[in-house]
Structure 1
Amino acid sequence: MPVNLLATLALAYSPPPIIGGQGELRFEYRPDRLVLPKGASLRNAHGLVTDAAGRIYFTYEHGGNDTNCLVRWEADGTGARFLTAGGKALCEGVPHGLQLSDEEGHEFLYHANNEQKLTKTRLDGSIVWQRSGNFGQDPRLPYRPTWFATPPGPFVYLCDGYGSNRIYAFDKQSGAWAAGQVWGGKGGREQHGNFSTNHGCTYDVTADRIAVSDRANSRIEFYDYGRAGEPALEYSHTLDLRGTMGGGSLPCNLRTYPGQGGRGISPDLSGPVAVLDAAGRVASVVNVSVLLGPLGHRHPHDAILLPSGDMAVAEWNPGFVTYWKRLPSPARAGDVVG
């Protein structure tokens, strides 16, 4: 059979691109990017961040014979490598939320582990400080931490999203709890400052506020924070996602990007990933669980916009991490779009 005919047949029978999103914010799934290192075994996929060089960091709960929990790729999603300097001390338990902080020109990672372990590391995973178990809070309260917010200033703010629904502040340099500083607790939609699974704590760079993903209440709440001296949290406003993402919306996190027009991105555990405009409105939705559902992809848990404008998504269970390339051109006939 002629070579050109073989090429034509291969093209004719190749699957169409998988594309999600709307308008100018459309993304194509690229399975050739964010390939895990050999030996990686994901039970649950959790957190994603990028450093100043654009490199991608990913934290996960391992399964099988894998003892790792932290992976890094280059900015284009290639060149996967384990970051092993934290060893068992970092990876035992259930590694969960991941956050990056630039502190006087030095970059650090903050890790929240569901098994009552809080860790600050360098970018290679080597441990700066670690705090395990209760730290002085009310011992009668459940405690299963989920995420750190790392705003400018001397403090980080921890969401106890699977435990008490409270927020605690810690000193960045020492890891010491700012004793007596506690906010939140269990509450419904009618209450601002109380939560039902305050899963994600992140720093909204665009608004210079802390964003708390109040997952079971289908909303993100925004807080002004203490910029010097004592830590503080003061309620600012709420983004209710039920109108645009549906009544069953389960927002896990929010990340914002002033360098990309102030856009934000919010993964939803129920299946979609929302890209927001600078005003906090949902501008595009990539229905990950619909587009990749036949491959087992169901629960977006974290998502980031890359410096290129592309998108990376960590999907909780079963664990996946996926790369989505932004497409500037209009949809093509035959594309699978959702």
Structure 2
Amino acid sequence: MKETHSRRDFMKATVATATAFAGAPRFLNASDKAGRKLPVVGSGEHTYECHHYWGNESLPANHQYGGASHGTAVDSQGRIYITHQGTPGSLFVFDDDGNFIKAMGEEHVVKNTGKGHGIDIRQEGNEEFIYLSPSESSLWYTKMTLDGEVVWKRGRKELHKDSGVLGDGVKYRPTNTSFRPDGGYYLGDGYGSNYLFEYDQNDKFVRVIGGPGTNAGQFQTPHGQWLDERDGTPKLVVADRANKRLQWFDLDGNHVQTLDGFLFPADIDIQGEIMLIPDLHARITLLDKNNQVLAQLGDDEAWRERVLGDGFAMRRTPDQWEDGKFIHPHDACFDADGNIYCAEWVVTGRVTKLVRV
């Protein structure tokens, strides 16, 4: 069996448990380059300084996030990948200091506009690979090297041939990918059919999971998903966004557990015993290994009413955004030091680095 590891596996090896966070470097009363004191969210061990617009200063001319920044991922060298709906390409790459490295992801461009959405990175043997999910029905899930060489593409036609569920009248629009511990993976059609398509380590179709609905095991926008091994038994956990819940499945595709209490959960990352859930409705939630809330970063009901009012108009009006507040967290991930990178679904895009203090 070939060796496979996800970026979260790399993070887990670096920071194995929540208690390991306590030993990370602390940056008290830090300021940005203009000398302004940075806003802080959270409390106790889960306190973070907000570096809004992280990486923006280094973007070359004519490089922009456009309609939204969407996905986040970190490779084993600590480079940060942000998918977007701007130009050029559909993906920007930065070093951990926010210095721009390159644009890529031209495979997911339509009419000179990026359609970047979900992104995850996995090490397979001695090489890392990017798995991309574009927010566009005419495009395809794509596996590529870190240099942008395409390994495979799989779109509606291929998925329907394998599964038989994408017939006439059934929507298809990808959202995210996640990985199994045995080398397999899941392709999530969150904006389309509400199915997850499971493939094994040899790229052979196994099964579909879910389908549209509100019952246990069904989805309304399975927007993101990840592998949850915190209790020692690997399971698939899904951000069932419009149903406002998380759902867990065993590795045979059987529903195991549902957790309610979310607003609009968009994706999932896990580091050690901590689960990270960016919520499109203006907050980020951290759960412990028992799925109890550790922190809800940026949670403010009055602010949320403003964000969601007038048809989400605030996402188009940056002059109304406030430091230390989130608008629409769309994806987020940990780095090796327990910091968080959050990309928001806002016009012009916005990436915030949450630095642990």
Give the TM-score range, shorter chain: 0.7 to 0.9
- Pairwise mapping of residues 122-201 of structure 1 onto structure 2 (< 5 A)? 122-135=145-158, 136=161, 137-138=164-165, 139-140=167-168, 141-174=170-203, 177-178=205-206, 181-188=207-214, 191-201=215-225
- Measure the CA separation in 2 of the matches of 1:287 and 1:128: 39
1:78 aligns with 2:98: yes
Secondary structure of the corresponding residue to residue 320 of structure 2? helix
Show the counterpart of 1:222.
Answer: 248
Which piece of structure 1 moves more, 283-292 or 299-308? 283-292
1:89 aligns with 2:107: yes
Secondary structure of the corresponding residue to residue 341 of structure 2? strand
Query: Structure 2: which 5+ residue stretches go unaligned?
Result: 1-33, 305-317
1:118 aligns with 2:148: no
Secondary structure of the corresponding residue to residue 192 of structure 2? coil
Which of 264, 272, 284 is the aligned partner of 1:273? 284
Q: How many residues align?
A: 290
Write the deviation string for residues 96-129 of structure 1: whole angstroms up to 9, x where unpaired.
1111122223211111112241100111222111
What is the CA RMSD across the aligned residues, in angstroms? 2.6
| Letter aligned with residue 37 of structure 1 | L
The answer (yes or no) to whether the contact 2:281–2:329 under 8 Å persists in 1 is yes
The answer (yes or no) to whether the contact 2:108–2:115 under 8 Å persists in 1 is no
- Measure the CA separation in 2 of the matches of 1:124 and 1:275: 33
- Measure the CA separation in 1 of the matches of 2:133 and 2:245: 21
Choose between structure 1 and 2: higher helix proportion.
Answer: 2
Which protein is bigger by CA-based radius of gyration? 1
The answer (yes or no) to whether the contact 1:184–1:193 under 8 Å persists in 2 is yes
Choose between structure 1 and 2: higher strand proportion.
Answer: 1
- Measure the CA separation in 2 of the matches of 1:32 and 1:125: 25
Which of 42, 50, 59 is the aligned partner of 1:37? 59
Show the counterpart of 2:266.
Answer: 252
- Measure the CA separation in 1 of the matches of 2:299 and 2:328: 8
Secondary structure of the corresponding residue to residue 117 of structure 2? strand
Which of 201, 220, 227 is the aligned partner of 1:203? 227
Which piece of structure 1 moves more, 136-145 or 265-274? 136-145
Q: TM-score, normalised by structure 2?
A: 0.74
- Measure the CA separation in 1 of the matches of 2:101 and 2:201: 27
- Measure the CA separation in 2 of the matches of 1:234 and 1:273: 28
Show the counterpart of 1:7.
Answer: none
The answer (yes or no) to whether the contact 1:37–1:82 under 8 Å persists in 2 is no
| Letter aligned with residue 99 of structure 1 | D
- Measure the CA separation in 2 of the matches of 1:293 and 1:254: 29
The answer (yes or no) to whether the contact 1:154–1:172 under 8 Å persists in 2 is yes
Secondary structure of the corresponding residue to residue 59 of structure 1? strand
Structure 1 position 205, deviation (Å) = 4.5
- Measure the CA separation in 1 of the matches of 2:73 and 2:235: 18
Could you say if the C-alpha distance between residues 160 and 293 of structure 1 is closer, same or farther in structure 2, counting changes exceeding 3 Å? farther
- Measure the CA separation in 2 of the matches of 1:115 and 1:172: 26
Which of 107, 120, 124 is the aligned partner of 1:99? 120
Write the deviation string for residues 196-226 of structure 1: whole angstroms up to 9, x where unpaired.
111112222435221110011111111121x
Show the counterpart of 1:25.
Answer: 46
What percentage of residue pairs aligned between the two structures are identical?
29
Structure 1 position 173, deviation (Å) = 4.7
| Letter aligned with residue 254 of structure 1 | I
| Letter aligned with residue 79 of structure 1 | N
The answer (yes or no) to whether the contact 1:205–1:257 under 8 Å persists in 2 is no
Show the counterpart of 2:254.
Answer: 234
- Measure the CA separation in 2 of the matches of 1:147 and 1:78: 24
Query: Structure 1: which 5+ residue stretches go unaligned?
Result: 1-12, 226-231, 243-248, 328-338
Structure 1 position 94, deviation (Å) = 2.1
Secondary structure of the corresponding residue to residue 108 of structure 1? strand
Could you say if the C-alpha distance between residues 33 and 94 of structure 1 is closer, same or farther in structure 2, counting changes exceeding 3 Å? closer
Write the deviation string for residues 244-280 of structure 1: whole angstroms up to 9, x where unpaired.
xxxxx0000111012xxx1121100010011222222
The answer (yes or no) to whether the contact 1:254–1:265 under 8 Å persists in 2 is yes
- Measure the CA separation in 2 of the matches of 1:205 and 1:103: 19
Show the counterpart of 2:355.
Answer: 325
Show the counterpart of 1:336.
Answer: none
Could you say if the C-alpha distance between residues 308 and 154 of structure 1 is closer, same or farther in structure 2, counting changes exceeding 3 Å? closer
- Pairwise mapping of residues 295-334 of structure 1 onto structure 2 (< 5 A)? 295=321, 298-318=327-347, 319-327=349-357
The answer (yes or no) to whether the contact 1:158–1:201 under 8 Å persists in 2 is no
